[in-house]
Structure 1
Amino acid sequence: MKKDIKIPEVKGVYLAAVREWNKDFRTHDWNVYILNENNFAIETVLIVSSGSNKKDVTSTMRHSLKILPAKSFAKVELLQPEIFKLNNEFSVSYFAENTMFHKTFVFKKNTIKESAQGKIPLMKEEGILAD
């Protein structure tokens, strides 16, 4: 039964960590964004995130978006610097064109840092794309 379920490959959807100025707290914060580079909207977006290594594990966070329009992005969550030493996984599921898609994106430990930033699709900011 399980082998009969076909989940197509995710294309045009990314997760990025972006370092931004927080004017309220006067700090630079890292935020995770979901990006939809496709020419169609994605719907019922569910994101489950957690971080872990051999000895530490974070709480599981859950986020949802009703719709993410074509060629757009949305902020998912703030990343605390203490979790950069962990592998941070974001399990993303959504519907597009009457089909369910799923992918687990990972920010590997110690990869979220200023020196690793690069161009992010759709955004004017620089950041780090998850694998």
Structure 2
Amino acid sequence: MKKDIKFPQIENVFVSVVQDDEGWKVYLLNRHDEQLDTVMVTSKGYGDKNGQEQKTSVLRHMIPKIESGEYALIEPISEDVFHLTNEYWVSFFINGQLYDKKYIFVPETIIKDNLSFIPELKLQGVLHE
């Protein structure tokens, strides 16, 4: 049963939205000492604009592994959805233990005022811990 599964706290794994020459992209960063295995990411956006409910398609991504100190591209993202809540539900294994966390970018947080330098990517971005 789900209540019997232990989900330890995730540390040193981050989601970042960065801008490069091609546009905005979402990355998963592994600053953990161990490799992440069988990484599954579900992404979706939801909210409203001018009183009308809006939501994006739910996308699912599978990344076989992310080595310690490495990163992986999750997906490109359009500025057209920055007014929505953008949610990334990340699950992976470290040494056979399941880890699971939702990273939520609330509306209007992916803006130039919130950018900081992301060393792994050598780009400016919004880092979610």
Q: Could you state the TM-score of these two structures normalised by the residue count of structure 2?
A: 0.91
Cα distance between partner residues in 2 of 1:2 and 1:108: 28
How many residue pairs match? The answer is: 125
**Partner in structure 2 of residue 25 of structure 1:** none
Matches within 5 A, 1:43-82: 43-54=37-48, 55-82=53-80
Amino acid at match of 2:62: S
Structure 1: which 5+ residue stretches go unaligned? 23-28
**Partner in structure 2 of residue 120 of structure 1:** 118
Structure 2: which 5+ residue stretches go unaligned? none
1:121 Cα shift? 5.1
Q: Is the strand fraction higher in 1 or 2?
A: 2
Identity of aligned residues (%): 32
Check whether the contact 1:44–1:64 (CA below 8 A) recurs between aligned residues.
Answer: yes
RMSD: 1.3
**Partner in structure 2 of residue 16 of structure 1:** 16
Query: Which string of whole-angstrom CA distances, capped at 9 and with x for unpartnered residues, describes residues 37-77 of structure 1?
Result: 01211000000000001411100011110010110011111
Amino acid at match of 1:47: V
Cα distance between partner residues in 2 of 1:123 and 1:82: 23
